[in-house]
Amino acid sequence: MVHMDVREKRYEVLDGLRGVAAIGVMLMHYSENTGRMLFVNADIAVDLFFVLSGFVLMHSYRSKLLLGLSAREYVRKRIIRLYPMFAISMAIGIPALIAAAMIGLADYPLRSIIVASLDNLLFLPYLGDHGVANMVSGAAHLPVEKYTVGEIFPANPSAWSLFFEMCASVALLVLIRLQRRDLIKLIIASAILLFGTGVLLGFEHKNAIPVFFGAGWGTRNFFAGFIRVSYGFSMGVLIYSLHENQTPLKFGRALSAVIRNDLALYLLFAVAIACPFGMKGLYPMAVIFFVAPLMVYCGANIAPTGRVGARVAHFLGWMSYPIYCLHFPIGRLIFMYFPGSEHRPAQAIALSVALTIVISVIVTKLLEEPVRTYLTKKFASRARVGLKAESVV
């Protein structure tokens, strides 16, 4: 007979949660220089992404790797999944960065843009110290000291997390073989280091944020990104292990009493990242260390509410990666060239959101998915056939 692996299950509500997080990040970036910032704490969504990635990759690849999928084939699959949409975003982002430099909204010389772009196209960070004014009208004249300095993916700043996502994907090869007690030790050590680096980075904010957890995106905080992803991804791996073994969590049961369906989960996370309070770093710390992991734990046990809920979850999950990849370069261009965007930020945000969604749908359907299908058939099909053969017992 054919062995039916429980890992074939799809966690649709977690897909939907990822979509809500991606939309929150998009709205935060589009509104960051308008004076009325939306989803103020949406940078926490990246930590949720890392937890979700640990959970989902364990679900998708743990048994396959243990059954014989080679490390080379696994990494190849991850590159095929992540790179095409990233490359598309760079095709928009590089001209956008050049345009920003030409009209005085970036101090990147052409040589630095070329070097940064080549590094980034190889999925490597660019550790420079140039700056750019993001989501600002081309008619604006911001002083250089207000530029965002040292973005490691300057043509598409959001892509910084994809680099760490790829590093975490490779780390899964080791994490799947750790005993639970060793995994917990890794999580505790990462949490302590994350808090410690947060305190050190907080000094740079001159007491505005005593504990700063938004590391990884820039040259000055780049190495702290490894600690950030280590905690989130390892936590996701642990949550999957607990979920697979149906291990009850005291706080998980308490949160489940509040989160009874998918809509409640989406709404609660939206409220969490929209909360305008930082409480000197304590609020982000609580979400990163407790709320986000528990939401993933609870979301894994929730089914979509009917057909409509399933369709919404599917659409949100399907759109999450293209929105995350494409929104920054699209928004940068729109804000630069939309007439009067500094005086009409709501219109600029609405246009940016609408175009991001439309372009994401078109690009995904007509370009990214066909490219991924082709690359999978050409480079990753043999591993899939081999594993199918092993599932017959």
Task: Answer yes or no: is 226 within a domain.
Answer: yes
Task: Answer yes or no: is 393 within a domain.
Answer: no
Interatomic CA distance for residues 87 and 17, integer angstroms:
25
For residue 130, what pLDDT band results from cuts at 50, 70 and 90? very high
What is the structure's pLDDT at 141?
A: 73
User: Containing domain of residue 110, as a range?
Assistant: 6-388
pLDDT tens column, 199-250: 888 777 655 557 888 899 999 999 999 999 999 999 999 999 999 887 777 6
Task: Answer yes or no: is 38 within a domain.
Answer: yes
Residue 216 gets the label, from left (phi > 0), alpha (psi -120 to 50) or beta, of: left
pLDDT tens column, 372-393: 999 998 886 654 544 443 333 3
What is the structure's pLDDT at 247?
A: 75
Q: What is the 3-state secondary structure (H, E, C) of the chain?
A: CECCCHHHCCCHHHHHHHHHHHHHHHHHHHHCCCCCCCCCCCCHHHHHHHHHHHHHHHHHHHHHHHHCCCHHHHHHHHHHHHHHHHHHHHHHHHHHHHHHHHCCCECCCHHHHHHHHHHHHCCCCCCCCCEECCCCCCCCCCCHHHCEECECCCCCHHHHHHHHHHHHHHHHHHHCCCCHHHHHHHHHHHHHHHHHHHHHHHHHHCCCCCCCCCCCCEHHHCCHHHHHHHHHHHHHHHHHHHHHCCCCCHHHHHHHHHCCCHHHHHHHHHHHHHCCCCHHHHHHHHHHHHHHHHHHHHHCCCCCCHHHHHHHHHHHHHHHHHHHHHHHHHHHHHHHHCCCCCCCHHHHHHHHHHHHHHHHHHHHHHHHHHHHHHHHHHHHHHHHHHHHHHCEC
Q: Is the pLDDT of residue 47 over 70?
A: yes
What is the structure's pLDDT at 393?
A: 35
Task: Answer yes or no: is 1 within a domain.
Answer: no
What is the structure's pLDDT at 339?
A: 73
pLDDT tens column, 295-328: 999 999 899 999 999 999 999 999 999 999 999 9
What is the structure's pLDDT at 278?
A: 67
Q: Considering only CA atoms, which of 341, 347, 356 is closest in space to residue 138?
A: 341
Of residues 68 and 329, the one with the higher pLDDT is 329
pLDDT tens column, 180-189: 999 999 999 9
What is the structure's pLDDT at 164?
A: 97
What is the structure's pLDDT at 252?
A: 63
Tell me the average pLDDT of the chain. Answer: 88
Name the percent of the chain lying above pLDDT 90: 71
Task: Answer yes or no: is 50 within a domain.
Answer: yes
For residue 18, what pLDDT band results from cuts at 50, 70 and 90? very high
Task: Answer yes or no: is 373 within a domain.
Answer: yes
Number of domains into which the chain is organized: 1
Which residues, other chains included, contact 166 with Cβ-Cβ below 8 Å and sequence gap of 6+? Answer: 78, 79, 82, 123
For residue 281, what pLDDT band results from cuts at 50, 70 and 90? confident
For residue 35, what pLDDT band results from cuts at 50, 70 and 90? confident
Task: Answer yes or no: is 268 within a domain.
Answer: yes
Task: Answer yes or no: is 275 within a domain.
Answer: yes
